């Protein structure tokens, strides 16, 4: 590993070549990507014709973890730009026959694949692939372990930028299993780059490094750590709720879903402690009645479906950015 994941994603002329992480991507570039997503949103809504920006290009969805929304979102984004999409079903593929990951990648490159959209349970897989490519193909990280989920960070940023004129004035809380969350990490990168200063992380003690631990300082600089959600949400303009893998409750010494909801779930009562304009976000899929109450998830403060919509535009923008310069 000679280059960092961040350095890896730029070419010699400084153009974005892969999207592995939002860490280190500067504000101007982030804004430009969001502007492009905004343009995709406008164009998509005005006409019904597909754009043919990526006609003749091939995107391959390489999902090593099951996923509905992210895979479908990338699939639609690529198709709506005119690209050909191959959904690569890992379970049924030759990787079962013992082919190495890199042999699979190089084989697909040899077939002239222009983009690999990669989700993998192990942090670092998209960077590993990018580092070993032999062509100009682009790697889009669709979520790797607890490392990063950059298009989620971008879509959350777009959603907030459309809602609030001045992000630097916002108080934002991210609540849930911070420890294992690639969404939290990419959101922190995106929001801090866009100027958010009052960023709070709230989780059960076992699911978040202590504020003064080296891990927390390195991973989440300038964030305030909370273990009490009532305190953390106080005066917030934005509450981003995370998904809790049920198998992680044990590790966090949480006896039940009801107990988790009582302490870390977002109820209308708890939301009342936030600022009056507070919006509610969640990357989905939601565990209802555990992370978030039905009336909040479906209420007027919820931007959850707005996030989903913006996800497609952000992915169109990223695909266009990476494949047009490729």
Q: CB under 8 Å to 145, separation ≥6 — which residues?
A: 120, 121, 122, 123, 124, 125, 182
Total residues interacting with a copy of itself, rule: CB under 8 A: 52
Mapping DSSP onto H, E and C, the string for 144-212 reads ECCCECHHHHHHHHHHHHHHCCCHHHCEEEEECCHHHCHHHHHHHHHHHHCCCCEEEEECCHHHCCCCC
Among 40, 142, 278, 312, binds a copy of itself (CB under 8 A): 312
Pick from 3, 4, 93, 222 the residue near a copy of itself by CB under 8 A. Answer: 93
> Of these, 8, 21, 22, 80, which contacts a copy of itself (CB under 8 A)?
80
Which window, 220-228, 258-266, 267-275, 284-292, contacts a copy of itself (CB under 8 A)? Answer: 284-292
Considering only 19, 109, 147, 223, the residue that binds a copy of itself (CB under 8 A) is: 109
Whose Cβ is closer to a copy of itself: residue 41's or residue 171's? 41
Q: Between 123 and 286, name the residue whose CB sits nearer to a copy of itself.
A: 286
Read out DSSP for 9-71?
TB-TTS-B--BS--TT--HHHHHHHHHHHHHHHHHHHH--SPP-TTTT-EEEEEESS--SHHH
101 binds a copy of itself (CB under 8 A): no
Q: How far apart are CA 110 and CA 253, in angstroms?
A: 49
- The correct pick among 4, 94, 213, 256 for binding a copy of itself (CB under 8 A) is 94
| Binding-site string for a copy of itself from residue 129 to residue 168, where x marks contact by CB under 8 A and - marks none | -----x----------------------------------
Residue 53 binding a copy of itself, by CB under 8 A: no
Distance CA 5, CA 19 (A): 9
Near a copy of itself by CB under 8 A: residue from 16, 39, 86, 252: 86
To a copy of itself, the closest distance from the beta carbon of 256 in angstroms equals 15
Q: How far apart are CA 296 and CA 292, in angstroms?
A: 7
Q: Contact letters (x/-) for a copy of itself, 180-219, by CB under 8 A?
A: ----------------------------------------
How far is the C-alpha of 257 from the C-alpha of 10, rounded, in Å?
Answer: 43
Write down the least CB distance from residue 41 to a copy of itself, Å. Answer: 10
* C-alpha pair distances (Å), 154 with each of 247, 312, 318: 28, 11, 10
Min. distance of Cβ 102 from a copy of itself in angstroms?
10
Q: Tell me the closest approach of the beta carbon of residue 319 to a copy of itself, in angstroms.
A: 14
The interface region with a copy of itself, picked from 74-82, 199-207, 231-239, 269-277 by CB under 8 A, is 74-82
- Pairwise CA distance, residues 176 & 173, whole Å: 10
The count of C-alpha atoms lying within 13 angstroms of the C-alpha of 241, restricted to the half-sphere facing its C-beta, is: 33
Calculated CA dihedral for residues 123, 127, 131, 132, nearest 10 degrees: 60
Q: Which residues bind a copy of itself (CB under 8 A)?
A: 44, 47-50, 55-58, 66-69, 72-73, 75-76, 79-80, 84, 86, 88, 92-100, 103-104, 106-112, 134, 284-288, 305-306, 308-309, 311-312
């Amino acid at each position: 590993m000679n280059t960092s994941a961040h350095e890896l994603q730029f070419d010699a002329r400084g153009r974005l070549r892969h999207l592995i992480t939002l860490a280190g991507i500067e504000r101007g570039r982030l804004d430009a990507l969001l502007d492009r997503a905004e343009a995709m949103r406008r164009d998509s809504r005005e006409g019904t014709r597909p754009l043919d920006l990526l006609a003749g290009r091939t995107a391959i969805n390489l999902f090593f973890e099951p996923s509905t929304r992210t895979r479908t979102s990338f699939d639609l984004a690529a198709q709506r730009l005119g690209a050909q999409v191959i959904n690569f079903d890992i379970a049924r593929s030759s990787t079962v026959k013992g082919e190495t990951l890199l042999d699979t990648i190089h084989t697909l490159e040899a077939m002239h694949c222009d983009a690999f959209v990669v989700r993998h349970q192990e942090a670092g897989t998209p960077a590993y692939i990018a580092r070993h490519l032999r062509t100009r193909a682009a790697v889009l990280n669709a979520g790797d372990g607890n490392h990063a989920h950059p298009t989620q960070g971008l879509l959350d940023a777009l959603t907030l930028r459309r809602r609030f004129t001045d992000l630097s004035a916002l108080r934002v809380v991210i609540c849930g299993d911070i420890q294992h969350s690639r969404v939290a990490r990419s959101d922190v990168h995106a929001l801090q780059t866009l100027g958010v200063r009052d960023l709070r992380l709230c989780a059960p003690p076992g699911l978040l490094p202590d504020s003064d631990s080296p891990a927390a300082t390195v991973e989440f600089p300038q964030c305030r750590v909370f273990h009490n959600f009532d305190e953390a949400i106080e005066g917030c303009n934005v509450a981003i709720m995370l998904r809790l893998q049920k198998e992680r409750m044990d590790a966090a010494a949480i006896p039940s879903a009801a107990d988790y909801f009582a302490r870390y779930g977002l109820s209308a009562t708890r939301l009342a402690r936030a600022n009056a304009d507070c919006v509610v976000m969640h990357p989905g899929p939601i565990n209802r009645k555990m992370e978030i109450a039905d009336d909040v998830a479906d209420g007027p403060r919820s931007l959850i479906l707005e996030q989903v919509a913006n996800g497609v535009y952000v992915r169109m923008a990223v695909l266009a950015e990476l494949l047009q310069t490729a």
